[in-house]
Amino acid sequence: MSLKELENNIEHWENCISQATSFKELDNLKADIFGKSGILSAAFKEITNIATEEKKAFGEKLNYIKQQLDNAILNQKNKLKDYLIAEKLKNEAEDINLPIPENAFGGLHLITQSIRRIKAHYSARGFLILDGPEIETEFFNFDALNMPKYHPARQSHDTFYLEGVQGHLLRTHTSNVQIRSMMLDRGKSIRMLSIGKTYRNDSLDATHSPMFHQMEGLVVDQKPINIGHLSSELKKLMAFFFEVENVEIRLRPSFFPFTEPSMEVDCKCIIKDGKLIISEHGNKWIELGGAGMVHPNVFKACKIEQPAYGFAFGVGLDRLVMLKNGIQDIRNLFDTDTRWLKYYAC
């Protein structure tokens, strides 16, 4: 076949190659083109009959044609490989999972159940359900909450600071949401609740975790609010969460930089069959959280117009869940044991 005939038939050979449906068919085409008796081999033999001054141009054209057809065969071979692998995977796929019982269904984690239940309850009561960033600045996490630079909670042994980002940290409480809410709605009445993950530099054991969930509430108004209102709200919270009709609480003096006065919240309980039960008829007290009246310095930092009154409360949600369900070890809340998850799933 002459060079001119080869040039005119390149498209024909490329079409034949692209339509090959097996490696055998592709090998036959390759033999017809590149084999000892192939069209290209025959063309290269013609070089001896070409005038010396035309040999270079003739050889370059032949090599160009050879490269084109060689690439076409390689591309089709790769396409066939991909196709055959896909077909094999489709036809020979095996399910490596364990068989699932017909009555096995997924469910919500115990913490998720509690969060949704609390949010629905407070939302129905007119509270705003708010959240804020888990990576926070020192201003929202400490400064605006009346925590001076020398406060021990700001030290690295209590707080996770971000490397390479000056003044940023993983929030140590959800109080940052309260500050953001007050700065956004300053001068207005606020009734809000926040629930979310918080982080502290604690070692993981039965009662501590470097990550835990916290729930905080805030009520602010220009009309007088006092400890009586706070006590009433705390009773409602505990009665709702533990699903009892009435609770008895006591407020013990304490200290938090962002409230004045500050207090620890205890609740009456009884131990029955090794299980703690919240009851107004109990004979023991258990601490469940902290609370207090919003400190004037916090109002000042948030530029809240005076006069302003407010109270705030906070509880560790994980601990409440543990107490309610008789869980002794907080690590169980992060376990992946399906038996445990199934027991508490809903």
Of 317 and 35, more confident: 317
Asked if 101 and 45 touch (Cβ cutoff 8 Å), the reply is no
Question: pTM above the 0.75 mark?
Answer: no
CA 192 – CA 41 distance, rounded (Å): 85
Top-level class of domain 110-344:
alpha beta
Retrieve residue 140's tokens.
Answer: 């929202």
| pLDDT value of residue 2 | 60
For the chain, the average pLDDT equals 86
| pLDDT value of residue 39 | 75
| pLDDT value of residue 204 | 86
In the chain, where the domains are located: 3-92, 110-344
| Residue whose C-alpha is closest to residue 211's, from 338, 318, 132 | 318
Retrieve residue 90's tokens.
Answer: 């489709």
Asked if 62 and 69 touch (Cβ cutoff 8 Å), the reply is no
At residue 116, what is the residue type? R
| pLDDT value of residue 124 | 96
Asked if 311 and 329 touch (Cβ cutoff 8 Å), the reply is no
CA 58 – CA 60 distance, rounded (Å): 6
CA 240 – CA 243 distance, rounded (Å): 5
Strand segments, DSSP code E, in the chain are: 128-130, 135-137, 168-170, 190-199, 211-221, 249-256, 259-272, 275-278, 284-294, 309-316
Give 145-160 pLDDT, tens digit per residue: 998 888 777 776 688 9
| pLDDT value of residue 4 | 66
Give 232-250 pLDDT, tens digit per residue: 999 999 999 999 989 999 9
Asked if 176 and 140 touch (Cβ cutoff 8 Å), the reply is yes
| pLDDT value of residue 73 | 85
pLDDT at 1 over 60: no
* Rg for the chain, CA atoms, rounded: 37
CB atoms near residue 340 (< 10 Å): 14
Task: Kindly report the backbone phi and psi dihedral angles of residue 213, in degrees, each rounded to the nearest multiple of 5, phi listed first.
Answer: -105, 140
> Residue 252 — pLDDT band, cuts 50, 70, 90?
very high
Q: 260: helix, coil or strand?
A: strand
Crossing angle of the two packed helices 52-92 and 23-34, in degrees rounded to 10 = 170
CA 275 – CA 292 distance, rounded (Å): 30
Phi-psi region of 146 (alpha: psi -120 to 50; beta: other; left: phi over 0): left
| pLDDT value of residue 71 | 86
Crossing angle of the two packed helices 3-18 and 23-34, in degrees rounded to 10 = 170
Asked if 154 and 180 touch (Cβ cutoff 8 Å), the reply is no
Residue identified by tokens 């205890």 is: 266
Any idea which of 42-46, 214-218, 260-264, 278-282 has the lowest mean pLDDT?
A: 42-46
